[in-house]
Amino acid sequence: MKENEPMLLLVEDDPADAVLIQRSIQKVGIPAQVVHLKDGDEAVAYLSAETSKSGASLPWLILMDLKLPRRSGLEVLQWIREQKSDISRVPVIMLSSSHHSVDIQRAYQYGVNSYLVKPETTDALLSMMTVLKTYWFYNNQNPQVASRQ
Amino acid sequence: MATRVSTATNASSPELQHERVFRIMVESVRDYAIFLLDPTGVVASWNPGAERLKLYTADEIIGQHFSVFYPQKEIADRKPDYELKVAAQVGRFEDEGWRIRKDGSRFWANVVITRITDEHGKLLGFGKITRDLTERRAAEQRYRLLVDSVHDYSIFSLDAEGYVTSWNSGAQRIKGYTAEEIVGRHFSTFYTPEDAEAGMPERVLKTARETGHFEGEGWRVRKDGTRFWSSIVVTPILDGDARLVGFSKVTRDITDRKKLMDELERHTEELEIQVAERERANAELEAFSYSVSHDLRAPLRAIEGFASALREDYGQKLEPGADEYLQQIIKASTRMNRLVRDLLEYGRLGRIELPATRIPLLPLLHRVIQENFSGQNVVPEVPESIAVMGHEPTLAQIFVNLISNAIKFQQPGVPPEVRITALHSSDGLVRISVIDNGIGIRPDHLARLFKVFERLHGIEQYPGTGIGLAIVKRGSERMGGRCGVESKAGVGSTFWVELPQASQS
C-alpha cells in the first residue's frame, strides 16, 4: 500500500461478499487503500477515533452494506451526516442486495450519495467497480481534497 | 230646538252615555250571539250576531224561553234549567254542545252564561254569549280521525309534566296499551329501566322544551315487557300565550330497520377484519419474499463469485476437466438466481397494486427493444396513435418476456424475425400481438403454456425458468386484460395481450 493513497472504507458483514468486493476493487485497480469493517458499531467507532486524532485521515469514500449487525448501514449513515466535523461530508455509497423501493428512498433521505444493488454476476460486479473507480476516484472532486492536498 | 235640548240633556248624563255606547257595541257584534235572559230563562234582548247565528229576528224570539235553542234530548234532560241554576249559583257557566237554529239545523256552540245581579245581589237575569264552533269542531274531528287512523305511528300527547293525555290506535298497536290503560300514566313507563334511571325521559322533555324539538332513536318497552327500537319525535305544545301545555310525541317502531342496520354493521366489521387479515398476510408475504430475495441470493452470489474467481485467478493451474465443472457451477447458480428473481416477480404481481396510467404503445416498445433487444430483428408495426391503460413497468416486463420467447424459440437455420402489431378490438380493448417465425407450438400443448414451471423443451435446448408466460398472464389479467396464443407448428407463433384502450389525450 502506497503512503499517499486515499482510503476506501468497506463496511460489509458477509465474508464472501467482502472477499469478492475486495477482489474486484483490486482487479479494476481502484487506487485506494481498503479498510474493511464488519458491522455498523465498528464503523462508528473507527470513524470517531479517526476524527478525534490530529491530522485525521478521512476516508475518500465509504462503501457500505445496508443490512449490518448491531447498527445498520442507515444508522451509520445518519450518524455520519449528523457529525459537526468534516466527516459529515464524506461520500457514502450504499451497496445492498435489496432493491426494495423503501430502502432506496430512505437511504437517499438520510443523505446517501449513491445507492447500488449488488450485481448477480462477477462480470457485472467488475464493470460496476470500473465505473465506480472512474467516477469517484478520477472525475469527482471530494470536499476533503482541500484539507488533504 | 227642543230635540237639540233633549239630546243635550241625554248626552250630559254619563250613565246614559255609557249604556248607549255599550248597546252600539253589542249591536255591532256579528260573530257572537249576545243576548239577555230574564231570571226564568226567557229571552229579553237580541243582537244581530244572534240573528245571524240562530236565524231568529228579535221580534220572533224575545219573550220565548231559551230552551228553544237546545236539542230535544237535552231539553228532556233539563239541561237548560241546569245551566241557569249553575250560573245563578256560581256566577258563570261554560259549555260546548249542539244547538238548534230556527230552521232546525244544528251547530256546535261554545256557550258562556253569566249571572247578572243588582247592587243588592238580587238576580236580574243572565247574559249569554254563544259562538259557532262547527268549523273548528269539524277540523278537530278530522284531525282526531286522521291521528286515530294512523296505525304505523304511535301518536299521543303528554301534559307539561309528561303524563299521557291522548292515545291513538297506532300507539295501541305498537306499545300494546289501550287508551284506558295508559292515559294518566307517566310516559317514562315506555323507557327501559336503565334509560329511566339515567334520566332520559326528563332530558327528552327538557330538550323539546328548550329547543322546540327532540328527535332520537332508542330502545322502548311494550306493555308485555318486550323491547323495540324506536324513532321518536317530541314537540312542545304551546297555548296562545306561548305557555307550555304539553307535548306531542310520535313514535315509530323501526326494529326491523335497526336489525338490518346492525346486520350491515356486523358484516362491515367482519369484512374489515378480513381485509385487515389479508393485508397482514400480504405484508407478511412481502416481508417473506423480501428476506428470500436478500438471504437466498447472497449465497448464490458467493457461489458464482468464487467459481468465477477460481477460474480467472487459478485457471492456469487447474486440470482441463475442472474448468468445465466450474462453468457448470456458474451456469447453475446464474439459473437459480434468475428463478428466484422471476418467482418473486410472479408473486409480487399477485399482491401489489398496479395503478393504471395511459401508456402510448409505440414509445414503450421502442424503449423495451432498445434496452433489451438492440441489434435484433424486432419490428414494431404499431400506429403512433394507439395507447392502452395499464401499469407501465408490468407491461414492459410482459413485452420483454414475449419478445425474448419469440427470439429464443427459433427454427434451426432460420434467423428470427419478430413483428409487433396492435389493433383496436370490438369491446374497447387493444390487442397487441407478438408474431414470430419460430418453431411454433403443437395445439395440444397450448393450454399448458401459461402455467408456472411449464416447459415444453429441455433446458439445454431452450433455456428459461418456465415463469415468463405465467408472469404475462397474471400481469395482463391484473391490468384488466387477458392474453392468448395462436400457433402453427413449424410456421411460428402469435402471442397476444389485450388491454383496455386509453382515451385520446
pLDDT digits (tens, 9 = 90+) for B100-155: 999 999 999 999 999 998 888 889 999 999 988 888 888 888 888 777 777 788 88
Residues of A (81-120) whose Cβ lies below 8 Å from B: 97-100, 118, 120
Task: Give residue B5's pLDDT.
Answer: 38
Task: Give residue B448's pLDDT.
Answer: 77
Asked if residues B213 and B234 have their Cβ atoms less than 8 Å apart, the reply is yes
pLDDT band with cut points at 50, 70 and 90 for residue B240 = confident
Question: Under CATH, which architecture does the B150-253 domain have?
Answer: 2-Layer Sandwich (3.30)
Task: Give residue B458's pLDDT.
Answer: 67
**Looking at the predicted structure, is the pLDDT value of residue B460 above 70?**
no
pLDDT band with cut points at 50, 70 and 90 for residue B461 = low
Which among B301, B308, B334 has the least Cβ separation from residue A118? B301
pLDDT band with cut points at 50, 70 and 90 for residue B4 = very low
Residue located via cell numbers 464503523? A43
Length of chain A: 149
Task: Give residue A1's pLDDT.
Answer: 45
Q: Which contacts of B197-203 are long-range, i.e. CB under 8 A and separated by 24 or more positions?
A: B201/B162, B202/B162
Tell me the domain boundaries of chain B. Answer: 31-134, 150-253, 260-349, 355-500
E-strand stretches of B101-152: 106-117, 123-132
**Which value does ipTM take for this structure?**
0.80
Are both B150-253 and B355-500 of the same fold? no
Task: Give residue A56's pLDDT.
Answer: 63
Task: Give residue B153's pLDDT.
Answer: 86
| Mean pLDDT, range B225-243, rounded to an integer | 87
pLDDT band with cut points at 50, 70 and 90 for residue B60 = very high
Q: Does A26 touch chain B (CB under 8 A)?
A: no
Q: Which residues are CB-contacts of B82 (< 8 A; sequence separation ≥ 6)?
A: none
Task: Cell numbers for B417, please give them.
Answer: 424475425
Pairing of strands B153-159, B123-132: unpaired
pLDDT band with cut points at 50, 70 and 90 for residue B12 = low
Percent of chain A with pLDDT over 90: 58
Which among B293, B297, B309 has the least Cβ separation from residue A23? B309
The string of pLDDT tens digits covering residues B405-445 is 888 888 888 888 999 999 888 788 999 999 988 888 877 77
**B309–A20: do the CB atoms touch at under 8 Å?**
yes
Residue A11 CA to residue A41 CA, distance in Å, equals 10
**Looking at the predicted structure, is the pLDDT value of residue B169 above 70?**
yes
**Averaged pLDDT score across all residues of chain B:** 86
Residues of A (49-88) whose Cβ lies below 8 Å from B: 67
Q: What is the CATH number of domain B355-500?
A: 3.30.565.10
Q: What is the CATH number of domain A7-148?
A: 3.40.50.2300
Looking at CA atoms only, how far is residue A137 from chain B in angstroms?
25
pLDDT band with cut points at 50, 70 and 90 for residue B40 = very high
The string of pLDDT tens digits covering residues B179-219 is 899 999 999 999 999 999 999 999 999 999 999 889 999 99
Residue B453 CA to residue B493 CA, distance in Å, equals 20
The string of pLDDT tens digits covering residues A5-49 is 889 999 999 889 999 999 999 999 999 999 999 999 999 999 988
Task: Give residue B3's pLDDT.
Answer: 34
**Interface with B, mutate which of A12, A20, A96, A98 (most B CBs under 10 A):** A20
Residues of chain B with C-beta less than 8 angstroms from the C-beta of A120? 297, 300-301, 304, 334, 337
The string of pLDDT tens digits covering residues B473-498 is 989 999 989 898 888 887 888 999 99
Lowest mean pLDDT among B344-358, B384-398, B404-418: B344-358
| Mean pLDDT, range B459-483, rounded to an integer | 82
Q: Could you tell me which CATH class the domain B31-134 is placed in?
A: alpha beta
**Looking at the predicted structure, is the pLDDT value of residue A77 above 90?**
yes
Residues of chain A with C-beta less than 8 angstroms from the C-beta of B336? none
Three-state DSSP string of chain A? CCCCCCEEEEECCCHHHHHHHHHHHHHHCCCCEEEEECCHHHHHHHHHHHHHCCCCCCCCEEEECCCCCCCCHHHHHHHHHHCCCHHHHCCEEEEECCCCHHHHHHHHHCCCCEEEECCCCHHHHHHHHHHHHHHHHHHCCCCCHHHHC
pLDDT band with cut points at 50, 70 and 90 for residue A149 = very low
**A97–B298: do the CB atoms touch at under 8 Å?**
yes
The string of pLDDT tens digits covering residues B368-390 is 999 889 888 889 998 988 999 99
**Looking at the predicted structure, is the pLDDT value of residue B172 above 70?**
yes
- pLDDT greater at residue B448 or residue B6: B448
**A120–B300: do the CB atoms touch at under 8 Å?**
yes
